[in-house]
């Protein structure tokens, strides 16, 4: 690891950053981080999975501008020179991307190319939010960036998996052939405040079910594993990667691995009451295990996740309780 901390965007001159998917969970936290650091942010979203409430958080900020647009059809930005185009637009939870499979493929394909073209025109950096889903149901554990994955190209999850795999490919093509200054992250399961209540992923389901005193829904026998990263750790990793000259994909995730039954037990413990478990059929192509190898992030960024699941779940549950009630 580096002897001194890798600089983040907080140490740079003020930047002009365009973020697609700015009304989404991760996008809204990036907007907050960059505005707090003194940068100017242009948010773009069409609200297919983002939330108007996330845009409203920053609507009165003097350095925030919002454009409502579908980036698959173009990014209608005509303002001053950009320093970064950050492509975080896409449905990201299985219920949402399976509800909008064509739109998900388009935002990964045309949306990514439109972002790359904008970055190229402005001489800006391009930052792609990819996903651990590119590894599919992995045969290698934990998953390093060198692993090519085990993805069903025509399965129910393929609209998201293949969209992101294509997005990575075209991002590297623009870097190699047109000199665009690119970054790629592969995001592993991330949670925290501002996730949609109907997100459908395990953390959101468990938190909202627990707050309502309902049984926790576990798909399959609950032995499948996931690694859960708190949003602040992800945003820190993103910020550090922006300031490092590295173009290959970088895993950002917490390598602490939990079975879903272990996570359910932790939720019950945090709620100080025993919650029933309701088992349901395992969804098609659901990965049996998922854990990041974060050696690249450690070595290049000096980055490690700092928020353990217990602390992060407490922060998330408190926030969601306030929002529900």
Q: Which residues are catalytic?
A: 160
d(CA 209, CA 264): 11
d(CA 126, CA 87): 8
Strand (E) or helix (H) holding 234: helix 231-242
Contact at 8 Å (CB) between 50 and 103?
no
Measured in residues, the chain has a length of 325
Contact at 8 Å (CB) between 231 and 29?
yes
The two tokens of residue 52 are 């108007």
Q: Which residue has the tokens 């896409």?
A: 90
Nearest CA among 295, 66, 323 for reference residue 199:
323
The two tokens of residue 225 are 């594993």
Nearest CA among 236, 205, 297 for reference residue 26:
236
39, β-bridge pairs: none
């Amino acid at each position: 690891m580096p002897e001194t901390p890798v600089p983040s965007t907080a140490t740079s001159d003020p930047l002009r950053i365009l973020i697609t998917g700015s009304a989404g969970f991760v996008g809204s936290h990036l907007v907050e981080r960059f505005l707090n650091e003194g940068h100017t942010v242009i948010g773009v979203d069409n609200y297919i999975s983002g939330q108007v409430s996330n845009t409203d958080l920053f609507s009165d900020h003097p350095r925030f501008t919002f454009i409502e647009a579908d980036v698959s059809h173009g990014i209608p930005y005509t303002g001053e020179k950009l320093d970064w185009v950050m492509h975080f637009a896409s449905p990201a939870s299985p219920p949402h991307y399976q509800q909008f499979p064509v739109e998900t493929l388009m935002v990964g394909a045309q949306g990514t190319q439109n972002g790359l073209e904008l970055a190229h025109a402005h001489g800006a950096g391009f930052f792609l939010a990819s996903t651990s889903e590119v590894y599919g149901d992995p045969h290698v554990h934990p998953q390093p960036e060198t692993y090519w994955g085990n993805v069903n190209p025509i399965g129910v999850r393929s609209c998201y998996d293949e969209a992101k795999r294509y997005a990575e490919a075209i991002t590297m093509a623009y870097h190699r052939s047109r000199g665009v200054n690119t970054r790629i992250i592969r995001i592993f399961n991330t949670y925290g405040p501002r996730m949609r209540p109907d997100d459908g992923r395990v953390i959101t389901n468990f938190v909202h079910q627990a707050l309502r005193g309902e049984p926790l829904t576990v798909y399959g026998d609950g032995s499948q594993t996931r690694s859960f990263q708190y949003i602040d750790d992800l945003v820190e990793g993103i910020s550090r990667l922006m300031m490092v000259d590295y173009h290959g994909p970088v895993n950002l995730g917490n390598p602490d691995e939990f079975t879903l039954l272990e996570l359910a037990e932790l939720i019950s413990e945090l709620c100080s009451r025993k919650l029933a478990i309701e088992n349901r059929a395992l969804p098609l192509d659901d990965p049996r295990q998922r854990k990041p190898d974060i050696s690249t992030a450690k070595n290049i960024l000096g980055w490690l996740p700092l928020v353990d699941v217990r602390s992060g779940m407490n922060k998330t549950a408190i926030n969601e309780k306030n929002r529900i009630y």
